[in-house]
A and B are shown apart, each in its own frame.
Chain A
Amino acid sequence: MTDTITNPEITGEANQFWSVGEEIADAKAPQGIDIDKVWKTRQFQARLVNPANRRKLSVIIVGTGLAGGAAAATLGEAGYNVLNFCYQDSPRRAHSIAAQGGINAAKNYRNDNDSTFRLFYDTVKGGDYRARETNVYRLAEVSANIIDQCVAQGVPFAREYGGLLDTRSFGGVQVQRTFYARGQTGQQLLIGAYQQLERQVAAGTVKMYTRHEMVELIVVDGRARGIVTRNMINGKVETWTADAVVLATGGYGNVFFLSTNAMGCNVTATWRAHRKGAYFGNPCYTQIHPTCIPVHGETQSKLTLMSESLRNDGRIWVPKDAADCTKDPRQIPEEARDYYLERIYPAFGNLVPRDIASRQAKNMCDEGRGVGPAVAEVDHDGNERLVRRGVYLDFSDAINRLGQKAVENKYGNLFDMYQQITGENPYEVPMRIYPAVHYTMGGLWVDYDLQSSITGLYVTGEANFSDHGANRLGASALMQGLADGYFVLPNTINDYLADAPFDKLPEDHPAVAEARDSAQQRIDKLLSIQGTRSVDSYHKELGHIMWEYCGMERTEEGLKKAIGLIQNLREDYWSNVRVTGKNEDFNQALERAGRVADFMELGELMCVDALHRRESCGGHFRAESQTPEGEALRHDDEFLYVAAWEWGGEGSKPVLHREPLIYKAIELKQRSYK
């Protein structure tokens, strides 16, 4: 155990894995003014497009989740011509729909001393000081408008008998600022945005293209001008051009194969943009969610999250004595239980932030005090061992205190879901939970206007990196998606579109043809390999490597090993993958094949990013950097920056650009929840 960084020679220096480029900065946030004036000032400075000119301009938006759907609806209302794409059969299916717990807003309805500044403070701290201060402040600022907007749309938030909105609290905070709709907040917010989107479709301002997957970005003279899509019904590869392009394509957690993401979530849109010049920010930042249903077997396709809100009433424990781990939990007396979060972090107890709850669950299982079935694992040295990967989330206290009816009212659908999946009744036996890959906090680098390093390419929601850090607090992803979609992007993109009209782009322009051809060649190549291994088998292998070496705990040695493993796997993939069927068809194997190919390239970059960041940060625990108590130890002196990676070209090293993080409104502190 050490609390200094050893082996500093690879820190930030060019080496065999990466090279170092120039520092970058966010040039759009107004400087030298108080943080509460920054957004208002930027809004005033951003140029406008007059309503008569807006209808002459077009914007492509890829994705229909909270960020994409809200942006498409809002830009449609504003009078732009919007072309909106999604890979699902309906925009209402975007994965924002699966978020359960809630959405934060600094309304101070509870009179518990909440404020914009406190929400901002909690979020920056929860992100372990690796998020951009100005962005997070803006997020906190517009949070209250989001609630107003959604209520006006008919989103059925939980209410009290007086007819006013109810709130609850979430991990990492001591106020009640989370607005919720039972355990389906994401669904209700998304349906709200989707209805506004369909309203614009009816009005003719938004054209919706479902079952279309973006497979390439069109860049002309350094500007994003369009996309190439594959029509997933008939395989047609088509080009679409516009005056600006917005990617709202979500996260890339499926790189781990097992995650809480929808099966279709992928990195292709952002990865194709990365290869065309968009920097990828903090790719190794993955949020691990502490309350998921544990893995049950090798054929499992995904993990299911149990809302973090359960930690409001559920108590987390493991047996004090490893010998009790196989016993029926109801037979283990109170004094033989270790409520470890309440013991170690008395001030926050079961409501510590996600990274801390996750790491401690892992520690308990590593110590041999996990519960549930013992599963075989291969450790770093290649030895097989049996480990129980689960801890109890127990509602018996809450049921005794509030009655089963009250618990049912609050969490009924989550309990039903748990029973459906595990076959166990959580009202009688404590739930078993374990951390799982949830949300990705890395993404394409954007400035304060949400513009990427490619002019005219905007990135919103989970697809960008901006508002998070090493770890994200609960109920802030929904907030960011809607903030970007309803309030930020529609106000910043005008500044770019004010430069229009841009040159007309003919269909046969070389950049358009090049993008279409490269997409087509990739498809043809995947179909021509005709190897022996299925796409899914590669994806699972990649996932194992990522979870083992680039998951909750990383070491220099492990990451270097992972990079080699991924390179070999990728080489094998391109010579031995079997993709059945043909392009001119509804071909799900082909869809997955393209996505897995991109995941392999991304996976390698994630490992390179994790390797270079020789500090522990939130959920990203570098074994080489910890406090004497075993907590994550940041190194602000060396790593107070965003790592923005530039594509180095096929077979070349990625280039690291650092954006220093500057904190003026907030003081950096070691996080403590004790």
Chain B
Amino acid sequence: MTLLRLPTATAPARPAPRARARRGRADRRPRLLVAVTAVFFVLLYLPIGVVTLFSFNSKKSLTVFGGFSLRWYRAFVHDDVLLASLGTSLRISLVAMAGSVVLGVALALGLVRCRTRLGSLAGLVMLVPLITPEIVTGVASMLLFKGLGVALSTGTVMLAEITFSISYVTVILRSRVAALHPEVEEAAMDLGATRWQALRLVTLPALLPAVLASAVLIFALVFDDFVLAYFTTGVDPQPLSVRIYSAIRFGVQPTINAVGTLMLAGSVALIALALFIPRLFGRRGGLDILSGE
């Protein structure tokens, strides 16, 4: 790296026309790369497009489009089982959002500011869900509830979803907390605030955009989550994604296209909202919320 960097310092100063001609060619847009990227985008959006298109199909086919119709949306609105599942999913998402944001924000604050051995241990525990595949955490949660003799239900899904959402909130909030200057809190304390007041009146308001964005993101993630819900749900109205799973396993059901399209639209709207929230507060928009950087 360091060795390679040396010639660059002199490179712009070199007037050799040949070199400039070469660079001119190098700067040209590489057609092959652009073509690969274009094909990638087509394939990325094709499945989503197909689901959306056939949700408006007047026929019960997944290959022939018979004309525009809303019949599958009507079928969904009259499907009591699917509607009950929708309600379950909404409740789970709301509870998981509230629980994980409260626990996660507190954890992020503590992790950044507390440099003790307990702090580094908590930091490790927090990372576990991020490096464990969902099927493992799903199986583990199910066994825990069974082992404790708790019947699987909507409540157990909520508990499991909170557990795994705490990590996301903490990861998102951690870098924001680290970016805050502790001097500001100290200034507040010099002006007579207690530590708690400084936290409540100075630190938390500064974190508000990130907290709101992470809350929206958690809502979307939990609403769409399938694996964890699948392992921890009971027989009462199952979460929507679990219901969709059993529907697509047993063949084509165009109603699922309508539900799927609505879920796609909902997720995209929520993600857009999460990205937009920091801007509402006059901050640089936040793709970093998605990548955790």
Q: Is chain B found bound to chain A in the same assembly?
A: no
> A-side interface residues toward B, CB under 8 Å?
none
